């Protein structure tokens, strides 16, 4: 079956929801536009339970400034040359190397590849975090309440 809003084929993941007074079968993505009245029945979920999808929180390593500076110097690049190679501003390289600006995860990934050095670490030991999914449920519940009025 296809999502009646965006047309995406989403076999088992369609959600029954009311949008502007019309009942539609929506994919997960579109369901947030409507008032969800039914989730897919548990019987349709494969018996092999998939583990809860928890993305480990990623952090930049605490000593990123020193690591970036050391690796850059080992490669014989000036801050300016380094900035050009990774398409970032020279001033930002300076800020990173003095520890006044932390690279975002996307940039850190790019730096990791370029410097061949690990800059990203996980917030914990990969343990399961239960707080995140719970929060999302709450948000959906609140949303439904608001639409009912």
Q: How far, in Å, CA of 23 to CA of 57, rounded?
A: 37
According to the binding rule CB under 5 A, does residue 11 interact with Zn ion?
A: no
Query: Least distance from C-beta 112 to Zn ion, angstroms?
Result: 35
According to the binding rule CB under 5 A, does residue 15 interact with Zn ion?
A: no
According to the binding rule CB under 5 A, does residue 27 interact with Zn ion?
A: yes
Q: How far, in Å, CA of 36 to CA of 29, rounded?
A: 12
Give whichever of 2 and 63 is closer to Zn ion, judged by the CB atom.
2
Give whichever of 39 and 94 is closer to Zn ion, judged by the CB atom.
39
Give whichever of 27 and 60 is closer to Zn ion, judged by the CB atom.
27
**What burial letters (b/e) apply to 61-81, b meaning 16+ CB within 10 Å?**
eeebbebbbebbeeeebebee
The number of residues that bind Zn ion (CB under 5 A) is 6
CB of 79 closer than 8 Å to CB of 90: yes
Q: How far, in Å, CA of 72 to CA of 19, rounded?
A: 54
Query: Least distance from C-beta 20 to Zn ion, angstroms?
Result: 15
- Contact residues toward Zn ion (CB under 5 A) are 3, 5-6, 8, 27, 30
């Amino acid at each position: 079956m296809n999502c009646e809003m965006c047309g995406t084929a989403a076999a088992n993941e369609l959600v029954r929801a009311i949008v502007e007074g019309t009942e539609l079968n929506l994919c997960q993505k579109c369901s947030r536009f409507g008032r969800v009245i039914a989730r897919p029945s548990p019987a349709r979920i494969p018996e092999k339970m998939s583990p809860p999808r928890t993305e480990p929180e990623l952090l930049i390593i605490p000593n990123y400034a020193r690591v970036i500076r050391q690796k850059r110097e080992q490669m014989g690049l000036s801050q300016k040359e380094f900035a050009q190679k990774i398409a970032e501003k020279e001033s930002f390289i300076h800020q990173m190397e003095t520890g006044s600006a932390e690279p975002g995860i996307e940039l850190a990934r790019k730096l990791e590849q370029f410097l061949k050095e690990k800059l990203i670490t996980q917030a914990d030991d990969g343990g399961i975090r239960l707080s995140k999914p719970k929060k999302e449920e709450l948000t959906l519940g609140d949303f439904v309440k608001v639409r009912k009025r």
